[in-house]
């Protein structure tokens, strides 16, 4: 595997830059940060209308003729511009999971609609008091005729206020790991309530509540009591995607804004180490994406990428704040904020990087067992 940017990809990067110059608007970034939304509806509609969401997907699932490499370059450009696309990232994770474990009806109905921008899916995993222990889920789903009734609560259901559906982990029987079942629940269903939760990173996430929510059995994803197998697949795709808070290009913008940093040997050394971090993170992520694109599941590779990239992002943003000094904590509303306040925003936003998608401790256990062959630190259940 060779992840060197070859000349045949340079054309896509140049085309993506031209696309960004034509379509991306600075007010979208400011609006997204001030409102705390990590999903911009106008941008999402644009990507859908131009077939960029559907790039690389098979025609039978609504795929477009857009070159997947160009679409990848466009998403890089969007990310580098300072815009998030969390709504699409979580939707993509669920669509990839449906490809593996969904019914034919779900594949025909949900995937094409999502690629057209009509369906956006949030993740309903974490519960109050359960932390990262997904197997401790208490949200109940019980049989009710030919469907199910769901009662419970989820925490950190990000983009639920913008989404159409939630990929909901529920408990359908008593055993901890073998009593879980997934459902794709419409967020406009009677009995669903969404309450905002504003975070120190500036993002709006949500608490969601489910009171007697009725869904048909066709909304079930995977086998009854087979949710643990489904979540293991879904988490592989989550960890194998690009970390949402890692900001390629931020180093260049800081140096362009403060070129005097390069004249200080200590500061220059720090910037060099951060650049190495960026390159290692890029290579690890590229390997996980390559495995996914070729039909594999990057289990250990995705965990390696998630672990390194999330910790590298925190190191980078903390170090840049130190280099910028007191001015570094100015946000975008301050006229003299370095890099328009992006470093301050990135630092706050990256605080949760090592928690989302599994903590660093869990990632280290997966790598230790799956790649190094070390024994598990606790017995499997």
Q: Which domains does the chain have, with CATH numbers?
A: 7-84 (1.10.540.10), 121-227 (2.40.110.10), 240-370 (1.20.140.10)
Report the alpha-carbon distance of residue 112 to residue 63 in Å, rounded. Answer: 8
Concatenate the DSSP letters of all residues of 302-316 into one string. Answer: HHHHHHHHHHHHHHH
pLDDT score recorded for residue 247:
61
Cβ within 8 Å of residue 88, ≥6 positions away: 39, 44, 47, 53, 120
Per-residue pLDDT of the chain (381 residues; tens, 9 = 90+): 555 554 456 788 899 999 999 999 988 988 887 788 789 999 999 999 999 999 999 999 999 999 998 998 999 899 888 888 889 999 999 999 999 999 999 999 999 999 999 999 999 999 988 767 788 899 999 999 999 999 999 999 999 999 999 999 999 998 777 899 999 999 999 999 999 998 887 788 999 999 999 999 999 999 999 999 998 888 777 765 554 445 667 888 899 999 999 999 999 999 999 999 988 988 888 888 888 777 787 878 888 988 998 899 999 999 999 999 999 898 878 888 888 888 888 888 888 778 777 788 888 888 888 888 888 765 554
Cβ within 8 Å of residue 217, ≥6 positions away: 146, 147, 148
pTM, two decimal places? 0.82
Contact 130, 173 (CB under 8 A): no
Catalytic residue among 32, 77, 127, 238: 238
pLDDT score recorded for residue 244:
45
pLDDT score recorded for residue 296:
81
Report the alpha-carbon distance of residue 115 to residue 99 in Å, rounded. Answer: 13
C-alpha distance across the termini of the chain, in Å: 36
Query: Catalytic: 27?
Result: no
Report the alpha-carbon distance of residue 169 to residue 70 in Å, rounded. Answer: 34
């Amino acid at each position: 595997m060779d992840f060197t940017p070859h000349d045949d990809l340079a054309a896509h990067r140049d085309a993506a830059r031209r696309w960004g110059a034509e379509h991306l608007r600075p007010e979208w970034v400011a609006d997204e940060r001030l409102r705390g939304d990590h999903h911009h509806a106008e941008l999402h509609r644009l990507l859908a209308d131009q077939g960029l969401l559907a790039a690389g997907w098979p025609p039978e699932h609504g795929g477009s003729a857009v070159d997947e490499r160009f679409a990848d370059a466009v998403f890089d450009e969007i990310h580098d511009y300072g815009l998030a696309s969390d709504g699409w990232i979580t939707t993509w994770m669920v669509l990839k999971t449906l490809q593996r474990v969904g019914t034919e009806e779900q594949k025909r109905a949900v995937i094409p609609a999502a690629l057209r921008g009509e369906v956006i899916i949030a993740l309903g995993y974490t519960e109050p008091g359960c932390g990262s222990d997904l197997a401790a889920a208490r949200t109940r789903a019980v049989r009710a005729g030919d469907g199910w009734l769901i009662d419970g609560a989820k925490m950190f259901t990000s983009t639920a206020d913008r989404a159409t559906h939630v990929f909901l982990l529920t408990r359908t029987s008593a055993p901890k790991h073998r009593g879980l079942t997934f459902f794709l629940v419409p967020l406009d269903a009677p009995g669903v309530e969404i309450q905002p939760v504003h975070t120190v990173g500036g993002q709006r996430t949500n608490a969601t509540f489910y009171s007697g929510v009725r869904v048909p059995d066709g909304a079930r994803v995977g086998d009854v009591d087979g949710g643990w197998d489904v979540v293991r697949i879904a988490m592989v795709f989550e960890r194998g995607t690009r970390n949402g808070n890692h900001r390629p290009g931020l180093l260049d913008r800081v140096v362009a804004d403060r070129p005097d940093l390069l004249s200080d040997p200590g500061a220059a050394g720090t910037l060099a180490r951060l650049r190495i971090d960026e390159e290692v993170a890029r290579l690890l992520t590229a390997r996980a994406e390559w495995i996914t694109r070729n039909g594999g599941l990057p289990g250990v590779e995705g965990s390696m990428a998630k672990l390194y990239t999330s910790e590298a992002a925190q190191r980078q943003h903390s170090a840049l704040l130190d280099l910028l000094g007191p001015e570094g904590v100015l946000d975008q509303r301050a006229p003299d904020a370095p890099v328009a306040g992006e470093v301050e925003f990135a630092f706050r936003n990256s605080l949760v990087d090592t928690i989302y998608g599994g903590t660093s401790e869990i990632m280290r256990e997966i790598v230790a067992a799956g790649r190094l062959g070390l024994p598990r630190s606790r017995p499997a259940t």
